[in-house]
Amino acid sequence: MTLRVVIADDEDLIRAGLRIIVEAEPDLTVVGEAADGAEVVPMVRQQRPDVVLMDVRMPSVDGIQATRLLTALAEPPKVIVVTTFDNDDYVYDALRAGASGFLLKRTRPADLVQAIRVVSAGDSLLFPSAVRALAVSRAGARPHPGIARLTAREADVLRLMARGLSNAEIAGELVVGGETIKSHVGNVLAKLNARDRTQAVIAAYESGFHSPADHR
Amino acid sequence: MTLRVVIADDEDLIRAGLRIIVEAEPDLTVVGEAADGAEVVPMVRQQRPDVVLMDVRMPSVDGIQATRLLTALAEPPKVIVVTTFDNDDYVYDALRAGASGFLLKRTRPADLVQAIRVVSAGDSLLFPSAVRALAVSRAGARPHPGIARLTAREADVLRLMARGLSNAEIAGELVVGGETIKSHVGNVLAKLNARDRTQAVIAAYESGFHSPADHR
DNA sequence: AACACCCTCCCCCACACGGGGGATTTCCCG
DNA sequence: CGGGAAATCCCCCGTGTGGGGGAGGGTGTT
């Protein structure tokens, strides 16, 4: 059984390149091309492909919105969002829109076809820097070195700071005196090299530190 | 060259199962097991494995925190976080903690060893519902309603607040008087329903507001 | 013209915050 | 046992911050 693929990209060159890669595989076939997000929906409705390769940046209706529309269909195809830049903010949006995969245009052909097979099998995947970008949120932010040097208590305090609590509130939450919190906060600021609590909270967010363990 | 693996899981049965799967591969070898997040760090420090299979739920120090500690090491191993449930909230936290991969315990052995090879090669990967959980969990952080009501200037100010600048610094950056900034900040706080600048910055981060387009 | 809104700047004031010290107990580790 | 780190609490003090007002100039809408 061959996998039916639709390619959506506004650049003819890219479409051609993708088509060649896909058609080179015996079990894959391109059943349609769209140059715009507006074209892709009726095309999918008609062709019922297994997988759609979707460019992010397209005129009128962009790839994200198009993905949203496609996944809202009765029998939605799997959508793999393809983009040029690895520090792309669209990763997150793409996934929320219902995309099954996200990868870069510079991905090797072998990986691309691999991705098509994987998502069509029901799995999802992301590639390298996509995951990193997502995990790290949006900024180019690796964990702040100082965070590892926080003591348990200091980490508690930072966590609560990152939830917007005042010193007094934190004191209440941790059932200790207000002066104690001031101490801890001071230490946290020093270790994180932050001037004030706002900078500390920013560091916490940039490091993906904020409250790993509270759901309510 | 064989890949060195450390297994961290509090359940003996799971550890045994994982070990069997891993050891079955000629190019993989288990160089250590840990029953707790607290054990895994010194073990990794000593064994210097290429990959760590990390359970999420463990006594004292959980898998996320342990991952955080491991990726903070000088030569961090790749960490693959393993969990039981697919609707797990930990996906996102795991990735932010620096994990290279995330997969389910019910993953087929072949996929597991495949994952080990992939991450050790420098790639990242996620499996099935992990991605979905990721997208959803991230969706929990929808934009604060108030943010849309900010004026252009107020948005500028919030952006700079979210970079840790003081009012005086913001004033310098925007080339206006300090009193002006106080005004804007006050308006921002009101619109975001924030008590202080820290809460405003948190709202900004939660909304994915922070400067999509500035790196330096 | 009148109005609304935004941006700009100003004054007064209370207080939470952060920096500078120091003191105590507990507990772990060598 | 002694040293050290962590956690707790205390005092003093300067100031950045935020709340309460108000006022002027600009722009666009009605």
Interacting residues of A66 by C-beta distance below 8 A, sequence separation 6+: A8, A37, A38, A40, A41, A54, A58
- The answer to whether domain A3-135 has CATH 3.40.50.300 is no
CA distance B211 to A201: 16
Does the C-beta of B177 come within 7 A of strand D?
A: no
Specify the CATH class of B3-139 in words.
alpha beta
What would the mean pLDDT of B37-62 be, rounded to a whole number? 84
Ranges of CATH 3.40.50.2300 domains, chain A:
3-135
Task: For Cα atoms A49, A51, A53, give the angle at the middle one, nearest 5 degrees.
Answer: 120
**pLDDT recorded at residue A76:** 84
Q: A-chain residues within 8 Å CB-CB of B93?
A: 208, 212
Ranges of CATH 1.10.10.10 domains, chain B:
145-206
**pLDDT recorded at residue A193:** 86
Which of these, B155, B66, B163, B189, lies nearest to A203 by C-alpha position?
A: B163
A157 pLDDT more than 50: yes
Does the C-beta of A152 come within 7 A of strand C?
A: no
Q: pLDDT digits over A164-212, tens only? A: 899 988 898 888 998 999 999 999 998 888 889 999 999 888 776 654 3
- The answer to whether domain B145-206 has CATH 1.20.1090.10 is no
Task: Round and report the angstrom distance from CA (B155) to C1' (D7).
Answer: 40
What would the mean pLDDT of A114-140 be, rounded to a whole number? 51
Pick B198's closest partner by Cβ from A130, A134, A198.
A198
Q: B-chain residues within 8 Å CB-CB of A147?
A: 72
Task: Round and report the angstrom distance from CA (B152) to C1' (C3).
Answer: 21
B3 pLDDT more than 50: yes
